[in-house]
């Protein structure tokens, strides 16, 4: 396969992320445009290039899917991104709302030897600071039986293991509640009117979380 530019790698990662979230496993041009924050016409031009290089299956006016080599490349990029996030958080003490932007730059380093040494140095972590699984060198993804917080019942005890939303605003909102990966909570009340959830942390403090926040927290 031909060497990819940074922009092409960003598109492949974006397509994988959308494809993984969609039940159909297909991705539209508009979804990609929204994800990478550009015009649909610009996306179409890039899709032609990626199709010619064999990374996607694409026909004009139809939806997009990654090819086998596209999926392999996407997992490699995600692996690098999430390992760098883990390094920044654990070793350089970046907060979990700071690591994404820096890892976006570091994920384009092509040295596989460096990445394997980084993985070993970190102790072969399975999940990054946001709870996202880190793909193995062979592409295997660590599994988790986590569910969304808003799928749990009143009175249940849970542990926060991941967040779906990794934006700075959302992560800083969680910090105001003292919520982080590994936090233990109890659901004390479900509010039927607005579907918000009242929780109590392990210190005994109570907070009311909106439906949107609860729908972005993964728990065990």
Phi, psi of 146 (to 5 degrees): -70, 155
Tell whether domain 6-66 is in CATH 1.20.990.10: no
CATH of 147-219, one of 2.30.30.90, 2.10.69.10, 2.40.170.20, 2.60.40.420: 2.30.30.90
Residue 205 burial (10 A CB sphere; 0-12, 13-18, 19+): exposed
pTM equals: 0.92
24's tokens = 């159909």
Q: Are 209 and 196 in contact (CB under 8 A)?
A: yes
- What is the C-alpha to C-alpha distance for residues 188 and 197, in angstroms, rounded to an integer? 8
167's tokens = 């934006």
Residues in the chain where the model's pLDDT stays below 50: none
**How many other C-beta atoms are found inside a 10 Å radius of the C-beta of residue 164?**
14
172's tokens = 């800083």
- What is the C-alpha to C-alpha distance for residues 164 and 191, in angstroms, rounded to an integer? 22
Q: What pLDDT sits at residue 60? A: 87
Q: What pLDDT sits at residue 3? A: 79
Q: Are 50 and 11 in contact (CB under 8 A)?
A: yes
Phi, psi of 218 (to 5 degrees): -105, 135
- What is the C-alpha to C-alpha distance for residues 153 and 78, in angstroms, rounded to an integer? 33
Q: What pLDDT sits at residue 2? A: 65
Q: What pLDDT sits at residue 160? A: 97
Q: What pLDDT sits at residue 157? A: 97
Residues of CATH 2.30.30.90 domain(s) within the chain? 147-219
């Amino acid at each position: 396969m031909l060497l990819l530019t940074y922009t092409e790698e960003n598109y492949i990662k974006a397509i994988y992320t959308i494809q993984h979230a969609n039940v159909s496993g297909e991705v539209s041009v508009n979804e990609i445009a929204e994800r990478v924050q550009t015009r649909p016409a610009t996306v179409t031009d890039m899709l032609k290039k990626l199709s010619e290089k064999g990374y996607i299956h694409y026909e004009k006016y139809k939806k997009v899917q990654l090819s086998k080599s596209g999926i392999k490349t996407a997992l490699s990029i995600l692996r690098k991104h999430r390992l760098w996030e883990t390094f920044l958080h654990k070793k350089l003490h970046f907060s979990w709302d700071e690591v994404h932007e820096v890892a976006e730059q570091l994920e384009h380093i092509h040295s596989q030897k460096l990445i394997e040494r980084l993985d070993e140095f970190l102790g072969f972590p399975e999940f990054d600071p946001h709870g996202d699984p880190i793909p193995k060198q062979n592409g295997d993804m660590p599994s988790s039986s986590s569910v969304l917080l808003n799928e749990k019942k009143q009175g249940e005890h849970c542990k926060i293991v991941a967040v779906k939303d990794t934006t700075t605003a959302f992560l800083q909102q969680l910090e105001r509640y003292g919520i982080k990966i590994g936090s233990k909570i109890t659901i004390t009340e479900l509010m039927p009117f607005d579907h918000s959830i009242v929780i109590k942390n392990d210190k005994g403090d109570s907070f009311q979380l909106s439906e949107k926040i609860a729908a972005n927290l993964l728990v065990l």
